[in-house]
Amino acid sequence: MLLNLLLAFLGIFTAGLIIFLVRRNLLHLSYTIFWFVIALIIFILGLFPGLNIKIARALGIQYAPILPVLLAILLLFIKSLKQDIEITRKEKQIRRLIQELSILKSKI
């Protein structure tokens, strides 16, 4: 019971932290939805601990506590891939800007 309340509090704390970071302009608004979904999942799993077992059984996972770990690994993989794609896009944009700047400097 204590662990469930701790998880629910962790979900609320995460949501509050996200709001704080967005207000301080330390977290871009486009990332906010992803982190709010994570906070909501943590909160729901804290309130309804049996839900984890039901979802694990439906997916054919024998050991239910491993399900949040698998989901966390999957979400972190997706987040990392998305970040790599965004970094690549920004690097291309910076390279183009450097090229345009050098062309303008050569004309001056």
- In contact, 56 and 68? CB cutoff 8 Å: no
Residue 75 has pLDDT above 80, yes or no: yes
Predicted pLDDT of residue 87: 95
DSSP state for residue 60 in the 8-state scheme:
T
Of 44, 40, 34, residue with least CA distance to 4: 44
Per-residue pLDDT at 101 exceeds 80: yes
pLDDT value of position 89? 96
Question: pLDDT digit string (tens) for 10-52?
Answer: 999 999 999 999 999 998 887 898 899 999 998 998 899 889 8
Residue 68 is predicted with a pLDDT of 87
SS3 label, residue 29: helix
Residue corresponding to tokens 């059984």:
57
pLDDT at residue 1 in the model? 75
Residues whose CB is less than 8 angstroms from the CB of residue 63 and which lie 6 or more positions away in sequence, other chains included:
56
How far out from the chain centre does Cα 97 lie?
30
Question: Measured on CA atoms in the order 8, 11, 16, 17, is the torsion positive or negative?
Answer: positive
